[in-house]
Amino acid sequence: MRSINKQTLLKGLNPQQKDAVLRTKGPLLVLAGAGSGKTRVIAYKFAYLTSALNSHPSSILTMTFTNKAAEEMRQRIEKLINKSVKGSWIGTFHSMCNRILRKDIEKLGFKREFVIYDEDDTCNLIRSILKEFRIHEAIYKGIASKITSLKASLIGPKKFLSITNNNDDHYGFDEKFARVYVRYQDELKRNNALDFDDLIMLTVKLFEKHPDILKKYNNEFSYIMIDEFQDTNVAQYRLSKFLAGTRKNICVVGDDDQSIYRFRGANVENILSFERDFPKTKVVRLEQNYRSTQNILEAACEIITKNSLRKPKKLWSERGEGEKLFYCITNDEREEARYIARSIRELYLKGRHSYGDFSVLYRINLQSRALEEAMIEYSLPYKVIGGVSFYQRKEIKDIVSYLKFITNPDDSISLKRIINCPPRGIGAATITRIENEARKKNKSLFETMKHITHSNGTATALKKKVGSFVRLIEKLMSYKTSDIRRILLQIIEKTEYVKSIDEERAENLKELVNSVDGKDLRVFLDTVALYSSSDDSHEGDSVSLMTLHSAKGLEFPVVFIAGVEDGVLPHFHAVKSPEELQEERRLFYVGMTRAQDLLILSSARKRTLYSLIQKQEASRFLNEMSPDCYLCIERKPRREILAAPVGGPISLVKFTPFITGARVKHPKWGVGVVRDCYGETEDLKVMVNFSSVGVKRLSLRFANLEKL
């Protein structure tokens, strides 16, 4: 490997970043404030370990939470050391555990060719169990969430039953739920499938039951780095401690102030108790922020310091004070949405920003409807982040399910998805009949279907339907090669799937086929299963709409946070719990620190929530900020138009004939169309798009405009 001069490598790091990079022995806790360059520290530390200390890249285990973050980390490292690190242990917790289990999961009773069920697969399996047990199917999401929570705490079905049998009702024992959980885990094993949470839980179980395997990895990894450590759950923390071994050369990087995934099992106590669990831990604080202006940071810090469960840190910036925050009070959510859209349009027309520079954040998904309507009304291009990802689109899931099934014929969930897709006359009643037969004979669904095909006692119509599908699958299995592109083309052709979909969906399938060239079949299926909407690209010239949770890790020059009201932010579920209220405060802090240059908050006096119109009060979090931090703007009811807020406090604008869309004539530039009207009452300004010279910003007092 190319040797890198130590001084050259460390050039450009601030003193605290340099300190974190150079400490390579023993446990290290890097408390990295928002925008303080934590990914930079991890990349440089990896480069330092491999180049200056001659550690092999494969001896450094580097884990984070999203594929996107892992890929960014890998690219930074390769750029620093000028060498590929392909094959190294850089990835998400789930992908790294998947890699470990692919080698040794047989010791836990599974086959190495296991499939990974995504959230949709998991919910379908739970629904089928609820249907069999004659339990109301509508509760499947609640069941899935509870199973995830238990597995995040390393509580499998047997442990759950033993806890509840000892009269410990901490986990809310329910006999029906216990039956479903036991059956769910049995069905996963029968299908040779793992869900996301199994990847972590079973790796921990593997290390507990087989110390020799753990020892192998302790010897293999000389150093461990974990990003976003504040988001780890009990299972991930236990895994981290196992992998740290006796050397305890472990570096965790995170920010307790950005721990916002409690509902997924994340435990902020992990980062708060790290020093206790790893004696002689060195703590390095990264407090210089490279993202936001000082005014934004001070406002955010005033709020987050009200949390008692946190490590103290004080962010600062060299970017200057910047603009103050704006806070606008509107009458209802529709007026709030229009206010945001108008503000975005004005800033865009001033020419300093593209649409991709704007992000609108909100606490709950139902807020997006009014915002989307306003974006459409003002003709602003936008995208909703965190929606359906490419691999979750129906046509993609269908074809990938064929691929999963011919790879693992025990996978009943994939089988039930494809058995009548496209339609081939095999309905729900037929599937139920096959499932009942499979349970009686203790066989997989596909084995049962093959038996039906060759049985003399089977009705001719059923035998014909099932036999046709069995022959199709066996034909597709015969095409199974290392060439995924060829397999996919055969699946699409032999199933005649394209005949049942529209042109747009067909184009998506072409994109899928073109994307798999040169990929390994197993790696591809694992990548698809472990892909999430957070891995989608956020590039493009359009306004980003997303929840505060989805905004984690992102940054934008201009950020709007809508619905800063009690009951929304903080959420009404959280206000009675001190721990949950602190998490809501962290969520607000995360949203605020996404802003680079301008942060605009808004609230409504009344809002339609869950089909009810409710009066709203401003968020209690606003009272935790000094009034000097922001400029307050209040929209007055009706018959008056407010100018947009950006650039200073706004005032009322009387009605004017030069409204948006009006055709006007200028004595020099000719005919144009008004794109916006704003400003102080005494000095109204208009943005006019002239066909001769483009957009001009004019003062109505001096422009001599004539309305046509």
- Domain contains 295: no
Domain stop point among 594, 619, 640: 640
Asked if 554 contacts 368 with a C-beta cutoff of 8 angstroms, the reply is no
Residue 173 has pLDDT above 60, yes or no: no
Domain-located, residue 647: no
The answer on 588 and 463 residing in a single domain is: no
Q: Decide if 90 is inside a domain.
A: yes
Could you tell me if 427 and 517 lie in one domain?
A: yes
Asked which of 509, 530, 551 is the last residue of a domain, the reply is 530
User: Are 439 and 493 members of one domain?
Assistant: yes
Verify that 153 and 22 share a domain, yes or no.
Answer: no
Q: What pLDDT shows up at residue 534?
A: 67
Give residue 457's pLDDT band: very low, low, confident or very high (50, 70, 90). Answer: low
- Which of 317, 226, 316, 313 lies closest to 278, judged by CA? 226
Per the model's pLDDT, the better-predicted residue between 82 and 388 turns out to be 82
Q: What does the pLDDT read at residue 200?
A: 97
660-673 confidence digits (pLDDT tens): 667 888 888 888 88
Domain assignment present for residue 573? The answer is yes
Asked if 74 and 215 sit in the same domain, the reply is yes
Asked whether the predicted pLDDT for residue 518 surpasses 80, the reply is: no
Model confidence over 571-608: pLDDT tens digits?
A: 998 988 999 999 999 999 999 999 999 999 999 999 98
Taking only the tens place, the pLDDT of each residue in 89-131 is 999 999 999 999 999 999 999 999 999 999 999 999 999 999 9
AA identity, residue 231: D
Question: Is residue 110 assigned to a domain?
Answer: no
Same domain assignment for residues 423 and 521: yes
What tokens does 433 get? 């009949």
Residue length of the chain: 708
Q: What is the pLDDT of residues 10-56, one digit of tens each?
A: 888 999 999 999 999 999 999 999 999 999 999 999 999 998 888 99
Query: What pLDDT is recorded for position 682?
Result: 61
| Pairing verdict, β 543-547 and 325-330 | unpaired
Asked if residue 464 and residue 426 are part of one domain, the reply reads yes
pLDDT at 376 over 50: yes
Query: Is 436 found in the same domain as 566?
Result: no
Mean pLDDT, residues 376-404 taken together: 89
DSSP E strand boundaries for 227-293: 250-254, 282-286, 288-289
Q: Could you list the residue range(s) of the whole structural domain that residue 334 is in?
A: 304-388+537-640
Are 86 and 123 members of one domain?
no
Is residue 463 pLDDT above 70, yes or no? yes
Pair 37, 83 in one domain = yes
**Within this chain, do residues 216 and 74 fall inside the same structural domain, yes or no?**
yes
What's the CATH code of the domain at 79? 3.40.50.300
**Model confidence at 383: pLDDT above 50:** yes
Task: Note whether residue 298 is domain-resident.
Answer: no
Same domain, 219 and 87: yes
pLDDT at 533 over 70: no
Residue 12 lies in a domain: yes
CA torsion, ordered 564, 565, 571, 577, to nearest 10 deg: 110
d(CA 296, CA 300): 6
CATH for 479: 1.10.486.10
pLDDT at position 211 over 70: yes
Instruction: Report the catalytic residues.
Output: 38-39, 227-228, 258, 594
Determine phi and psi for 655, rounding to 5 degrees: -60, 140
Total count of domains within the chain:
5
Instruction: Tell me the per-residue pLDDT of 15-27, one tens digit each, with 9 for 90 and over.
Output: 999 999 999 999 9
pLDDT tens-place string over residues 313-367? 999 999 999 999 999 999 999 999 999 999 999 999 888 899 999 999 999 998 9
Domain end marker among 614, 640, 666: 640
Q: Is residue 296 part of a domain?
A: no
